[in-house]
Homo-oligomer: A and B are copies of this chain.
Amino acid sequence: MRLSKAFLPTLKETPADAQIASHRLMLRAGMVRQTSAGIYAWLPLGWRVLQRVEQIVREEQDAAGAQEILMPTIQTADLWRQSGRYDAYGPEMLRLRDRHDREMLYGPTNEEMVTEIFRGYARSYRDLPRNLYHIQWKFRDEVRPRFGVMRGREFLMKDAYSFDLDYAGAQASYRRMFVAYLRTFARMGLKAIPMRAATGPIGGNLSHEFVVLAETGESQVFLHRDLLDFDVLRAAPDYEGDLSSVVDFWTGRYAATDEEHDEAAWGAIPEGRRVSARGIEVGHIFYFGTKYSAAMDLKVPGPDGALVEPEMGSYGIGVSRLVGALIEANHDEAGIKWPDAVAPFAAAVLNLKQGDAACDALCERLHAALAPACLYDDRAERAGVKFADADLMGHPWQAIVGPRGAAAGKVELKRRATGERQEVSFEDAVARVRETGAG
């Protein structure tokens, strides 16, 4: 893509009302634009990242055996009356009336709706287990939305819902999502730690938050260093088999948010293995048994013919929030440093002398070889502007072409994450970018 023709506007000024790094950088890099309080439009740079994040989430859900559906954003109040949550849910629920004066709402979550859908089709225990997920926009009418997409009102969430015949099955479903979540965040280059959590308004008695570590994170967390050292992606999980040992590794070592922190348990860890860090919640999983199946009359005949209320769990990932978390975990003063796996473009080609025949020709060749994951800065701008915009937008690679190098067929290749620079041939530049699989 040629920057001269793209809609990739950057801002020089730091927006005054943006309090955290990701919010500042997303506005400055032209990733999003606020259209109302806590509601954002995703511009091309942000939209590319959001799609890549969403795709990784999708692939790991599919690998774990969850099946994708798409539930609508607008729900009827009647559905929520069946679970008793319509009145219980506070002012964060966006309530509305349609032209026939029927009470509706913009879904903040989908336990009720998915239970109703499953109830419509499940005929026997042979229809279990199932795990249905969707990736859909939700609305929570926060009283004071802030921190950009980290705490917006309209936000993109992946929510999965499992249905099992019994407790053992439900625990197995929970473990599959537990492991899928570890892999999802690891693939994005994030260190995510599951932490035992309170279940809150979803209900139930077993729940974990997944907290991503970032120096500028929103809350304090405490964990055993073993959890940091573990390589999640070392082996592919067997989702058909027993995942207890993997889950036990994680749940058997100390990890707690500030609210759940236990000084005594923490003190029992050898000092050198204690890690205290800042974190950002990006996922939350719940087992809540028959809370919704009982309330909403979801029953299927079991193997012995007796009716069974399926055991359920729900599993959320804040997809749009993750984009903010990724920036909190990967940035410096100059801008964003995208991990390869979620970068909007693998590389930017910076032409330092637009109009110079050798520069233009080499840049065109690079752009063609690295398409479609390449952004060619072909604007009639000073080198300094191009450097600053590339650092701000955070492309993993910058291929810098000046007149002296171009005459010798050389490219200066800069790795954004480390700042490392190397003068290389055209072929080596293309090969280096490609081998990281970025963009």
Interface residues of A (CB under 8 A from B): 4-7, 9, 30, 33, 35-36, 39-44, 47, 50, 65, 67-76, 79, 91-92, 94-99, 102, 104, 106, 113, 116-117, 120-121, 126, 130, 132, 137, 139, 141, 143, 153-154
Contact = CB atoms under 8 A, between A and B. Distances in A.
Contacts of A137: 72-73, 137
A35 B76 contact: yes
A130 B7 contact: yes
Contact of A69 (B42, B74, B99, B130): B42
A154 B113 CA distance: 16
Contacts of A70: 41-42, 47, 50
A7 B69 contact: yes
Given A44-B69, A106-B106, 15 more contacts: A7-B132, A30-B121, A33-B120, A35-B117, A36-B72, A36-B102, A41-B72, A42-B70, A42-B71, A44-B67, A47-B69, A50-B70, A74-B106, A74-B139, A94-B98
A264 to B, nearest CB: 41
Contacts of A6: 67
B117 A36 contact: no
20 contacts: A6-B67, A7-B121, A35-B75, A35-B79, A35-B116, A36-B75, A36-B102, A41-B117, A42-B69, A43-B117, A44-B68, A50-B70, A72-B154, A73-B137, A73-B154, A74-B106, A91-B99, A95-B96, A98-B153, A99-B141
Contacts of A102: 36
A154 B74 contact: yes
A165 to B, nearest CB: 14
Contacts of A113: 35, 41
Contacts of A73: 73, 137, 154
Copy number of this protein in the oligomer? 2
A120 B72 CA distance: 31
A80 B311 CA distance: 46
B121 A9 contact: yes
SS class, residues of chain A in contact with chain B = mixed
> Which A-B residue pairs are the 3 nearest by beta carbons?
A9-B121, A96-B96, A42-B70
A192 to B, nearest CB: 25
A126 B44 CA distance: 18
A102 to B, nearest CB: 8
Nearest to A39: B72
Nearest to A90: B99
Contact of A36 (B33, B76, B106): B76
Contacts of A47: 68-70
Contacts of A130: 5, 7
A102 B95 CA distance: 13
B35 A71 contact: yes
A429 to B, nearest CB: 25
A153 B75 CA distance: 12
A99 B143 contact: yes
**Which of A44, A65, A70 has the largest count of B CB atoms less than 10 A from its CB?**
A70
Given A94-B98, A141-B99, A72 B40 contact: yes
Nearest to A77: B36
Contacts of A91: 99
